[in-house]
A and B are shown apart, each in its own frame.
Chain A
C-alpha cells in the first residue's frame, strides 16, 4: 500500500488574458484523502487540477506536494497518476502496452514490467484483456484500463478529471463503488473532479464547492449539506427553499424574527446579518391539521411528484411563495390529494440564516 501524498494550494490563481479561470485559492489536502472538487461548468475545477498535474502554470501562488514546491516542476517528474474523462488511452497500443507505458518511461526491466502489468490487470479485473486494443473494449473497461495505467507505478497522488463523465448512470454507480474500493486498497491521495453532487458526496472524505473560479466552501459532504456558508452552497447541494429576508429582529438569544420578501414572517435560529433563510424540503412537516411547530403556515398543494422512497409536494403558502416539501413514503403512506388545503411547519432551528 502506497502512502498518500499531501497537497497544498497556496494562493494559486490562473489568469488567461482578461479571463480569470481561477481566483487565488488556498487549500490543504491531507495524506490519503479522497478529495472531490464539485462545481458547475467553467468554475475552474480542471484548471485547479491542471496546476497540480503541471499542465497549467499558475499565474500566481504555489503548489506543494508533500510539502515541497512543485510549481515549476515539469509534469513528467511529478510522479502523479491522472485519469481523464475520455480515458486518453493510446489507440495504437494494446491494453497491456498501455499499462506498460509509464513503466517503460521509468526504464524498468522487462520482467518487472510484465509482472506489474499482470498485477494491474488483475486489480481491475481485466486479466484476459491484455492483448486487446482499447477500441475493442467497452467504456467501463477502457476506464478501468486508464485507472490501471495511472496506478501501476504506485503514485502517491492520483488526479481524476470527471473520470466517469462518459459512462451511463448504472455503470457510473458501479464504477463509483469500484473507485472507493480502489482507494481503500491503494491508499493514494485522490483529487477528484466532478459536477455530479451525488457522486462527490458518495465518494469523497471532503469536498470543495467551486463557483466562478473560487472555492466557496470546503469540508466533509455532510457538513456542507447541513451547514452551508452561503446560498450558492445551500442551493448547489440538495434542494433548498430560499426566502429573502427584508428585516431581521432579534427576539431572544440566537433567535431572529424574519420578515421576507415573499411574504411569510418566520422564526429562525441564527444571528445577523441575515440575507436569506433556507429550509430543506425534508425538514418541513406537512399535514391537514395544524402542526405544532414554531413556524406553521396554511397552504394549498399545487404539485405532487413521486420519487423513489419519497413524495415531493409543492405547497403554495402565499401569492408568490411556494415551498418544496419532501416526506418519506412507503406503500402504506397516505398521499395527500392535489389542491388539498394543508398546513406546513418547521422549527426555528430548521431554518438556516445566511448572509446572502
Chain B
C-alpha cells in the first residue's frame, strides 16, 4: 500500500537526487568544461567564454622544451612506477591470499594504508629519507614515492582477481606436475592477467597526476607535469596552463577508458 508518507518520501528522494546531480555538475563537471574551453582561446590571457577557437596555446606549450621535458619525465616515472607497483602489489596480494598464514592477513591492511594517508604526510616522511640516501631530486626518489601510493591499487585489483577464482585450479596444476613457479606462470598469471594490467594502468595514472610527492621529491631535472603546472600557476595563470591541463585530462581519461574496457572484456571472457 502506497501511503502519504511514501509519496512524500518519494518526492523528497527525487529532490535530493536532483540537488546531488546539480552539485556534481557545478563542482566537478563545470570547472573541467571551463578549463577545456579556455584552452582554445586566441587571447593572451584567460577569458571565458572564449571568443574564437584557436590552437595557439597548444602550439606554444609544444614549443617550450620545459613542458616537453616534464611530459617525458612524467611518462618515464609513470612507467617505472607502474612496473614497480605491479611487482610489489602482485607479490603482496599473492602472500595475503595464498600464503595460508593467519599473520599475513593484517599485512593486507598495511599494504593499502598509504591509500588512506594524506600524500603530504608520506612526502614529509620520505623527504629526509631520500636526503639521507642521497637520492633527493632523482628519478628513483619520485618513483619510490609514487610506488608507495600506487601499490595499494595494484594490490587491491590483483587480490580481487585472486579471490575471484577457485584455489583448486592451482592445486590441480600442482598434482598435474607443475612446480611452484610453473603453477604461477601457467595458471595464476593467466588468471590474474586482467587485474594485473588494470592495476598497472591505475598505477601509471596515479603517478601521472600526482603533485604533492613530486613537489617534495623531484628536482629541476626530474620535474613532472603536475609539478611544472603548479609552478606556473604560482606565477600567473596563462592559457598554456589550460592547454596542458586539458592534455593531461584527455590522457588520463584515455587510461581510464582502457582500464574499463579491459575490465568489461575480462567479465565477459576469461583472459586468453
Contact = CB atoms under 8 A, between A and B. Distances in A.
Q: Report the interface size class on chain A.
A: 20 to 34
B191 A54 contact: no
B173 interface: yes
A102 interface: yes
Given A91-B270, A92-B270, A92-B271, A86 B168 contact: yes
A84 B171 contact: yes
Nearest to B167: A88
A55 B171 CA distance: 7
A53 interface: yes
Nearest to B179: A76
Interface of A: 53-55, 74-76, 78-82, 84-86, 88, 90-92, 101-102, 105-106, 135, 149-150, 153, 159
Interface in B245-265: none
Contacts of A106: 177
Contacts of A78: 175
A92 B161 CA distance: 14
A192 B225 CA distance: 63
A101 B177 CA distance: 9
A58 to B, nearest CB: 15
A95 to B, nearest CB: 14
Contacts of B272: 92
Contacts of B182: 105
A84 B172 CA distance: 8
Nearest to A83: B172
A101 to B, nearest CB: 6
Contacts of A54: 174-175
B270 A102 contact: no
B178 A88 contact: no
A146 B271 CA distance: 20
Nearest to A81: B175
A120 B171 CA distance: 21
Nearest to B178: A105
Interface of B: 165-166, 168-169, 171-179, 182-183, 186-187, 190-191, 270-272
A105 B165 CA distance: 22
A90 B169 contact: yes
Contact of B166 (A82, A88, A153): A88
Nearest to A84: B168
Q: Which of B166, B168, B172, B179: most chain A CB closer than 10 A? A: B172
A70 to B, nearest CB: 13
A152 to B, nearest CB: 9
A76 B177 contact: yes
23 contacts: A53-B171, A53-B175, A76-B175, A76-B179, A76-B183, A82-B171, A82-B175, A84-B168, A84-B171, A84-B172, A88-B166, A88-B169, A88-B171, A90-B172, A90-B187, A90-B190, A92-B270, A102-B177, A105-B176, A135-B270, A150-B175, A153-B176, A159-B175
Nearest to A75: B174
Given A82-B175, A153-B176, 13 more contacts: A55-B171, A74-B179, A76-B174, A76-B175, A76-B176, A76-B177, A80-B175, A86-B166, A88-B169, A90-B169, A101-B178, A149-B176, A150-B175
A258 B186 CA distance: 65
Contacts of B177: 76, 79, 102, 105-106, 153
Contact of A55 (B174, B178, B186, B190): B174
